[in-house]
Structure formats: C-alpha cells, structure tokens
Structure 1
Amino acid sequence: MRKEICLVLPALVIATSANAQSSVTLYGKIEDGFNYTTNARGHDAYQMQSGYDYGSRWGLKGNETLGDGYQAIFQLESGFDVNTGKMGQGGREFGRQAFVGIASDRYGTVTVGRQYDPSVDMFSPMTANGNWTGYLFSHPYDNDNTDYSFRVNNSVKYVTPNIHGFSAEAMYAFSNQAGGFSNNRLYGFGAQYQNGGLQVGGSYLKLNNASSSTSSSANSSGAVTSDNTFNARSQQNIGVGVNYTFGKTLVGFAYSHVDVYAPTSNAYFTGTTQPTGGTWNAWKFDNFEVSGLYHFTPALYLGACYTYTQAQLSSTVGKFDPKWHQLSMKLNYDLSARTSVFAEGAYQHAVSANTGTDFDFANIPGSADVSSGRNQMVYRVALLHVF
C-alpha cells in the first residue's frame, strides 16, 4: 500500500503542475430562427434557418505554456445546422477553423492549418455583418467575404503583437500541387488600429484559381475549395473601414473593391450563368456601407445599415453596370448574459443591367432564392444561445 501511495502522489503532483500551465476550453453558439422571403423566383418562402447571424458551432481551443513568454496554441471549430444536425462548411469535421501554432507576447503569433484570412480578421469587423450582425447584412453575393463565405486551407498566418493599439497580419496558403505552385493559392495582409472608441482596419487579398470542386481535379486540394463564392482565374479584394463608438452609439463606414477575372460561375447563381450570347471577361464590385447602432439599455440595441454596390461586368458581348441598394435593420434583446432574441429585416432594390443572368435581379444573401424582379425583402426572428 505504501509503495502504491508513493507512486500515485508524485503522478498527481505532476498532473496538477501540468494543468496549471495549460488549458482547454469547450465553447459554442447555437442560433436558430424563422425566415420569410417575399419573392423567391416569384414565390413567398417560409424557412427555418440555423446560424444566419452568428454561425451555429462548437469548438475546442487551448494553450500550453512553453516558457520565456511562448505558448503552444490550437483551435478546432465545427459548424453545424441545428435543424438537421448536419455539419456545415461542406460536411467538414472542423470546417470553420482547424489550426495549431506558437504565440509570443514579444514576437507575435504563427499558426498553420485552416484559418480565416486577413480580410476577415482586419476588415470584416469594420462592417455591420462582420461585427454586430450577420448574413442578411452582407454585400451582394458576399463578394468581399466579410461574412466568412470561405476559409483558407494549407495556410500559414503571422499576427504581430499589439503595439499601442496597432496590429497587423499576413497569410500565405499553398496550392499543395506538384508543378502547380500558383494554382489555387492565396496570399494577403491586413492591419488594424484601435484607440478608445476609434477602430480602423484594412486588408488586401489575392486568390488564384479557386475551385468549388470536391473531386480529385487539379485544384481541388488547394487554398480555397468547395466554399468559395466565385470560380475564376483570379480574384483580389481590397477593403478599408472605420468604426467609432461614443456613449451608447456606434457608427461605421466601410468600402471594398473586388476584381474577379475570367469568372465561370457564382455560388449564388441558380439560373443562367453566362450573358446572353457570350462569356464573361471580368466582374468588378465596389461596395459602400454606412451603419449605426444604438444601445437603449445594456441589453437592448437597434442597428441599421445601408449598402450601395455598383458593378462593372465585361463580357465578349459588351459591358454591363448593375447596381444594388440595400437597407437592413436589427433589434436585439439579451435575455441573459448568454441568451438573446432578435428580429431583423433586409430590403434590396436592383438596378437591372439586362445581362440575361441573375445579376439582373434582387438577391439578398440569405434569401430563399433570387427574386424574379428588382425588389426583395427578407425577415428573420431568431434565438441565440452562447456556451
């Protein structure tokens, strides 16, 4: 008995010491609600939809102290649909995030795996849908990825330490292909500055030959696969924005420019992809957003956002200039520190360019389908629980 006690006690001491220097946290969000779309291919649509604002998910994250200011860190995060139990992000086990890395208070953080890109980290929080709301407030087709339409595989990311409110990051994601180094790769960088109520951020992102294919084709194992918004030869996103908080009020402005070269398809299109009698050369989008939020009480806020998007579409049969106006509002009430209810709505008006494609119609991200005309509205009532 004495020998057993002598063996067990040191083991317990070692385990306690190890636990004191490392931690693992289980966390998650569960959101579900009811959506009503006024015009989805000419019909009303009533739907139960999960995770439109906050993304239903569960995850594990942790760290281990290595000494001298260094830590090993990891995060595994899985998205899911509350209504069906299915995994999100194309059925991936940890489709939202899956990375491991080393963090230093002095030198910054390096992580490798499936991660968010610099535009999501540094620019998206300057927008309404990347900050205090979600899907219905994003820009047409989520063309600038502020709503996290895609994550990045095979990526290496470096984030600087915060120096007097300033931080920056850079990312490179490999194609993982022999003889195809630039085929479906991604690189980008971003920066952000915070001082009191002021927050400013911006980013640049370049993506080559993204593929929505999950087959064994040449670029199906690259940086962005199966969840990208556009299939194209190349895409670049540029975004800048500012938020300012004073008292109970937050106001924000964001601008982004997106170039899509040699596009072949759009994940949001359900009808004709190519212009009548021709093929696309390039799509260019400019998004202008003004947003505001007011807290009536710490538990109750009302937010609103107006977005104007203009596009320049070039093809073998001419050029087109569709435009979209979108107004969105949200009322949120916190029942507790972890549970909230909210109601929101979005209205979009499209200025048709007569392309013969879905670009000619209103199409709010998150709607049941593209509208059959120039106008569309989507309403949502939902419940959110955080753990």
Structure 2
Amino acid sequence: MKKSHFWVGPIVALAAANANAQSSVTLYGLIDLGINYSSNAQTGRNADGSLNGKSQVNMSDGATRGYGGSRWGLKGSEDLGGGLSAIFTLENGYNIVNGAIAQGGAMFGRQAFVGLSSNTFGTVTLGRQYDTQSDFVANYSPAIIAGISGAVPGDVDGLGHTRRVNNAVKYLSQNYRGFTFGGLYSLGGQAGNFTRSQVWALGANYAIGGFSAGLGYFNARDPNLSSFGNSPNNGGPATNNMGSAGSLTTAQSNPIYAGYSSAHTYEIYSAGASYKYGGTTFAASFSHSAFDKLGDLEAGPNPFHYSGTAIFNTATATVSYLATPALLIGGAYTYTHGGGAGGDGSATYHQGIFAVQYFLSKRTELYFFGVYQAATGTDSLGQPAVASIELMTPSSTNHQFVGRVGIIQRF
C-alpha cells in the first residue's frame, strides 16, 4: 500500500548534533462507505408500551456499520540513534456521509499518543490508545471478517475495537522468538482516590508457523465513565454512557448491558487461537466479561436497582478462505450467554456471519456481509431480550438480520 510521506529536516541549530538522524511523518487513511438493510430497527414504543420496529435501508459510514470506519491520521518517527526512536500517532475518525467528527466529537478520537521505541526493549507510548486485548487477542474474533458489526453482541468482550482508553501508559515488547507481551495503565485522575476510574490491562501472544494464540485481561473501574464515557459528548455519573432504555419516540441503545451502568468494575478475561493452512484460516476465541459490584452511584445510574454481578460468557468460531488473490470468503458463529444481576434472569444470543471481500487493488476493495442474531431470555433492561447487532439500532423483536454492501478506499 503506497502512502504519502513528508520528510522533515533537522532544526538548523541542532544540525551538527543530529547529522545522522532522520525524521518522517506519514499521512494515511481509509474511507468506508456502504448501503445497509436491516430487517427490523426500533422506532420507539407503541401506546401499550410494546416496542415498535420497521425494516430500514440507509447509507452509512463504516464507523457505524462497516468494516473499519473512515479515518485519516499522521504517524511520525525520529531516529534518536542507538536503536531508539521517538514516535507519535494522531488518528481522526469521521463520518463520510455528512463529514461529522466521530468518537463523540474528539478531533483525534481514534488514537492520539506519543512515545519511545527501542529495538531492544520494546515500545512505551502515552495518550489515548487501544488496550492490549486489541494487540494480542482481537485477531481471533469474528470482527476480522465483518469489522465492527461482526463483533460479539455489544462488543462485550472488547475485541471489536469500539472503545479506547484515555490517559494511558502502554508497553509492548519486542518479538522474542515468537513471544510478545504488553500492558497498559490509565490514571483515573480523581483527587483523593487513586484507583477511581483507573484502567489496566495485560496481554501476551505466541506465534510459530501457521499457529498463533493470545491471552488478555482488562480491568476498568467505573466503566460507565472510564471505558464507555471517555469521549467529549459523554456525561458524568448521572448519565448512562453505556446505553439507553429508549422512549416513546426513540430507540433503545445497547440493551444487552445498558442496565449495568452502575458497575464499580468491568473485567474481561479473553483468549484466542488461530491456525492457517494454505489459503484457509481457522480462529476461535473465548471471553468472560463481568460487570462487578452493581449499585455504585458514583459510577453511573441504577434505575433497575441492581446489585451483585452480571456475567457474560462468549465463544466464537471463525473461518476465512482466500479463494483467489482477489477474493476472500469468511463465516463465523458467536454464542453469548449473559447471567442477569441480582437474580433477574439471563439472556442468550446466537449470531451467524457471512462475509465476502473482493480486492480491486491493494488500496480498493468491495465487500458484502450479512449478520443474523437471535436472542432469548431477559436482558439488562428487564425485558424479553431483543436482538442487537453491534452498533446497529436494536430490533423490536428477538431476531434481526443486517446486510451491507460497501467500498473501502485506502490511502
């Protein structure tokens, strides 16, 4: 993939000291636009309080319904000598349909960090970043074939790249004979309470030949604020940043876990593995996610008066096949079971995915995916569970199908 480069010379006053140093800044980006069909999208409630929904056809940016989401960014590096480099990344997400800034209006809401990279010791970066599950486990999830909409329901395992971490210090090791590892810590910044709103994560990966496997752990205090509420348009503890119960004229949002915004801690254990044989890749993942100690009103509202812990266990299986150098076909199945809080029921979600990518060139591709989800039980809003494909408008029923045809152009 060809990218544009801007070469920056050393500052004149330091030219002698940096005669052998080189600096570069790379401009890069991606545009993802498509047309969607949803078999059922909520429009509000009927007079009797039941949910109302209709089929929908619309155009949208990939940030909400596609593979990756439109973006542009700048990456820079400076050779400091002795195998050490200074690096930075500034990445902006935007909506190609209307030009609006994504990630809640943050100018560089996708990523914004600076750091040092050593050929010997690894890389340390500081700023707004993905947690280490994205580095070590995400490549084993169904999101690899259908992007955000292929993530598990609600992206409850955090492997769909839908959330970032602010104020984060992150370390990634060098590759030691196939083994890599890393960790992240985010300072909560709360006066008088060092651990309030902190986030930390660990991960590791091993790869040899066509086999690879990864492990991850994620822990966020006050997740309604630190994990789901860290963009400019989010509110404080009185606001549910994790979702909404909707109204007579508006749809619900994230009914899978919207009722758990008062969690004191959000924990995720994740693991995955893949094996590549010729043009076929098999992948599987498992995750255990928990919203612990519900009822913390300093973290978020608790309209359903939940207590205890809500748990989600998820297993996925994915296969992709490179039929020709230009044609990639994939399929996946996801099973998610959520244990209700305070003894209030549970919900189960079955999800199937089929995806096709056709590469017109190294920079341009056409794609299609279809996602079907069926739900049973009782969800976090205390209602019969409704289907809710990630980042789509939830269905008014227990099932939903979404199909999308799109184009991606990289630069």
Q: 1:186 aligns with which of 199, 212, 219?
A: 199
Partner Cα distance (2:380, 2:122) in 1: 48
Q: 2:336 aligns with which of 294, 301, 309?
A: 309
Once the 2 structures are TM-superposed, how far is the Cα of residue 217 of structure 1 from its aligned partner? 7.6
**1:352 and 1:217, CA in 2 relative to 1: closer, same or farther beyond 3 A?**
closer
**1:71 and 1:356, CA in 2 relative to 1: closer, same or farther beyond 3 A?**
closer
2:38 partner SS: strand
Partner Cα distance (1:350, 1:364) in 2: 11
Aligned match of 1:124: 138
Q: 1:326 aligns with which of 330, 347, 351?
A: 351
After superposition, the C-alpha distances for 1:4-43 in whole angstroms (9 at most, x for unaligned) are xxxxxx969959x769611110000100101111011220
Partner Cα distance (2:13, 2:236) in 1: 52
Aligned match of 1:255: 286
Q: Which amino acid aligns with 1:73?
A: I
After superposition, the C-alpha distances for 1:237-260 in whole angstroms (9 at most, x for unaligned) are 010000111101011110001001
Partner Cα distance (2:331, 2:233) in 1: 41
**1:249 and 1:234, CA in 2 relative to 1: closer, same or farther beyond 3 A?**
same
Aligned match of 2:107: 93
**More divergent stretch after superposition (226-235 vs 26-35):** 226-235
Aligned match of 2:273: 242
Q: Which amino acid aligns with 1:292?
A: V
**1:331 and 1:264, CA in 2 relative to 1: closer, same or farther beyond 3 A?**
farther
**1:43 and 1:247, CA in 2 relative to 1: closer, same or farther beyond 3 A?**
same
Once the 2 structures are TM-superposed, how far is the Cα of residue 340 of structure 1 from its aligned partner? 0.3
Contact 1:274 1:280 in 2 (8 A): no
Contact 1:136 1:345 in 2 (8 A): no
1:290 partner SS: strand
Contact 1:136 1:328 in 2 (8 A): no
Aligned match of 2:25: 24
Partner Cα distance (2:98, 2:291) in 1: 34
Partner Cα distance (1:61, 1:164) in 2: 27
Q: 1:290 aligns with which of 308, 311, 317?
A: 317
1:371 partner SS: coil
Contact 1:311 1:322 in 2 (8 A): yes
Q: 1:375 aligns with which of 383, 399, 408?
A: 399
Q: Over the residues paired in the alignment, what is the CA RMSD in angstroms?
A: 2.8
2:175 partner SS: coil
Contact 1:177 1:218 in 2 (8 A): no
Gaps of 5+ in 1: 1-9, 266-272
**More divergent stretch after superposition (143-152 vs 94-103):** 143-152
**More divergent stretch after superposition (60-69 vs 208-217):** 208-217
**1:355 and 1:253, CA in 2 relative to 1: closer, same or farther beyond 3 A?**
closer
After superposition, the C-alpha distances for 1:127-158 in whole angstroms (9 at most, x for unaligned) are 120x3431221111110111122101111011
Contact 2:89 2:114 in 1 (8 A): yes
Please give the TM-score of this superposition, normalised by the length of structure 2: 0.81
Once the 2 structures are TM-superposed, how far is the Cα of residue 323 of structure 1 from its aligned partner? 0.5
Partner Cα distance (1:142, 1:219) in 2: 22
Structure 2 matches for 1:1-387, cutoff 5 A? Answer: 14=15, 21-41=22-42, 42-51=53-62, 52-129=66-143, 131-210=144-223, 211=225, 212=229, 231=261, 232-263=263-294, 278-315=305-342, 318-353=343-378, 357=382, 360-367=385-392, 369-387=393-411
Once the 2 structures are TM-superposed, how far is the Cα of residue 359 of structure 1 from its aligned partner? 6.2
Partner Cα distance (2:376, 2:203) in 1: 33
Contact 1:280 1:313 in 2 (8 A): no
1:279 partner SS: coil
After superposition, the C-alpha distances for 1:145-204 in whole angstroms (9 at most, x for unaligned) are 111221011110111111101100011100112212111110110001111211111100
Partner Cα distance (2:379, 2:28) in 1: 47
Q: What's the % identity of the aligned pairs?
A: 36
Partner Cα distance (1:145, 1:355) in 2: 18
Q: Which amino acid aligns with 2:363?
A: R
Once the 2 structures are TM-superposed, how far is the Cα of residue 117 of structure 1 from its aligned partner? 0.4
1:322 partner SS: strand
Once the 2 structures are TM-superposed, how far is the Cα of residue 279 of structure 1 from its aligned partner? 2.9
After superposition, the C-alpha distances for 1:93-142 in whole angstroms (9 at most, x for unaligned) are 1001110001101111111111110111111111120x343122111111
